[in-house]
Structure 1
Amino acid sequence: MSSPQRADRTSPAPDCAVTSLRERKKAKTRRTIQEEALRLFAQQGYDATTIEQIADAAEVSPSTFFRYFPTKEDVVIQDDYDPLLMAAIKAQPADLPPLTAIRAAFRSAFGLIPQDETDQVLTRMKLSMSVPALRARTVENLLATIDMLAGAVAERSGKDPRSPAVRTLVGAVMGIMLPALFTWVEQDGRISLPDLLDEALGYLEAGLPI
């Protein structure tokens, strides 16, 4: 009788492998729903497209759609880039000033987004700026991003995320980001978004010289 093989310590545990596979499948389903939604919006307009049509095109049930996106607006507004940005901020050296760390994190995080995803972001931004219901949700999303960045700055600086210093810094970051995003949309993505954001954050880091 042969002795049992020793487990390979470098191999992932079975439960981790199952979880990873499940997460990949969920990410694929989420991406498919969003891609089909954007395709339908481009073909027949946002208002004329129903959740049932999106679900049918993505080959999922409406109930599955709602597990991934609570509303039709969310299929345009929601993305996975906030966690990517947060990870990039946390990866910056601890001795960097908060604004310098944010600038480096934006450059790193947005530089990782492949071109096909960048094109989708551009499409979503155009929709968000042209559909009234989406403009309202975009404001809500910006407020959530402000809170997220405030938490990251507070963690790095040891300050209260609600303090005027932290909120002012984060507000300034968002204030210079919005014109950069608007310029990117107006130029139909012909200018590099990471370059636009880096240039804008560079002006802020330099004290906004004019």
Structure 2
Amino acid sequence: MHEAPSAERGQTTQADGRPSLAQRRKTALRLEIAGAAVRLFASQGVTATTGEQIAQAVGISGRTLWRHFPTKESCVLPLFSAGLEFAVEQLGNWPPETGLLDFFTDSCRNGELPPTAPVLLELIRMTSTDPALRAVWLQAHDDALPVLGELLARRSGGNADDLRIKVHAATLNGALRAAAEDFARRFADDPETPDGEIATCLLAALRAASEGLPY
């Protein structure tokens, strides 16, 4: 979500629309870098971690690392984007006759839950104390706004540039972010928190969003 394939240099998709082999390899490497970065951040702190250490953990050169990411903190962007990509994929299956809250309720009941890997939850938790990681977390959500806006516009028959659509996309985006942060906090307080609790956080956030501003 953070970067559309069409924005890449060179051919990134095949004739059938699937990512090219080069793009798949790039995506896999970026995820490997992200995993190594968050493990180092969690074990020794963000400040003490260098880009060279991340590169060494993956088995690549520092130059290769910096070709993919401008800063060490931005290395985790693919992990942040994964949860948002999951939400967008789910919304692609949203039936026209079903309300948003009902759709997510049914999805959660069917076990279709956002990623809850401990490494991702620890990363989200760290965004509350590290400004640089926070900026990357917010960037991931900012990158998702146009995608959500287009999805809502298609559903409503409106225009993604309409203020009303933009507000609705921002509201949904904010609910997804707040739910993820709340679940990460709960998991940090109690590592035995069941994965299904993410559904409780998500539905509570969406209910609050559907209330509008009752003030």
1:13-44 CA distances to partner (integer Å, 9 max, x unpaired)?
xx99xx77656544443333222212221222
Q: TM-score, normalised by structure 2?
A: 0.70
* CA–CA distance in structure 2, aligned partners of residues 101 and 82 of structure 1: 19
Structure 1 pair 104–90 and aligned structure 2 pair: CA distance change class (3 A)? farther
Matched, 1:194 2:191: no
Q: Which has the higher contact order (CA 8 A, sep 6+)?
A: 2
8 Å Cα contact 2:125/2:185 also seen in 1? no
Q: Percent identity, aligned pairs only?
A: 27
79, 93, 96: which is aligned to 1:94? 96
- How much has 1:110 moved relative to structure 2? 5.8
User: Which secondary structure does the structure 2 equivalent of 1:71 belong to?
Assistant: coil
8 Å Cα contact 1:77/1:128 also seen in 2? no
Structure 1 pair 129–160 and aligned structure 2 pair: CA distance change class (3 A)? same
Matched, 1:103 2:135: no
Q: TM-score, normalised by structure 1?
A: 0.71
Correspondence for 2:35: 35
1:149-180 CA distances to partner (integer Å, 9 max, x unpaired)?
11110111111112232122223323434443
- How much has 1:56 moved relative to structure 2? 0.7
Greater CA radius of gyration, 1 or 2? 1
Higher alpha-carbon deviation: 135-144 or 121-130: 135-144
* CA–CA distance in structure 1, aligned partners of residues 72 and 106 of structure 2: 30
Correspondence for 2:9: none
The aligned amino acid for 1:90 is: G
8 Å Cα contact 1:84/1:109 also seen in 2? no
Structure 1 pair 155–182 and aligned structure 2 pair: CA distance change class (3 A)? same
Correspondence for 2:47: 47
* CA–CA distance in structure 2, aligned partners of residues 141 and 181 of structure 1: 13
The aligned amino acid for 1:82 is: L
The aligned amino acid for 1:35 is: G
Structure 1 pair 56–136 and aligned structure 2 pair: CA distance change class (3 A)? same
- How much has 1:68 moved relative to structure 2? 3.5
* CA–CA distance in structure 1, aligned partners of residues 27 and 175 of structure 2: 31
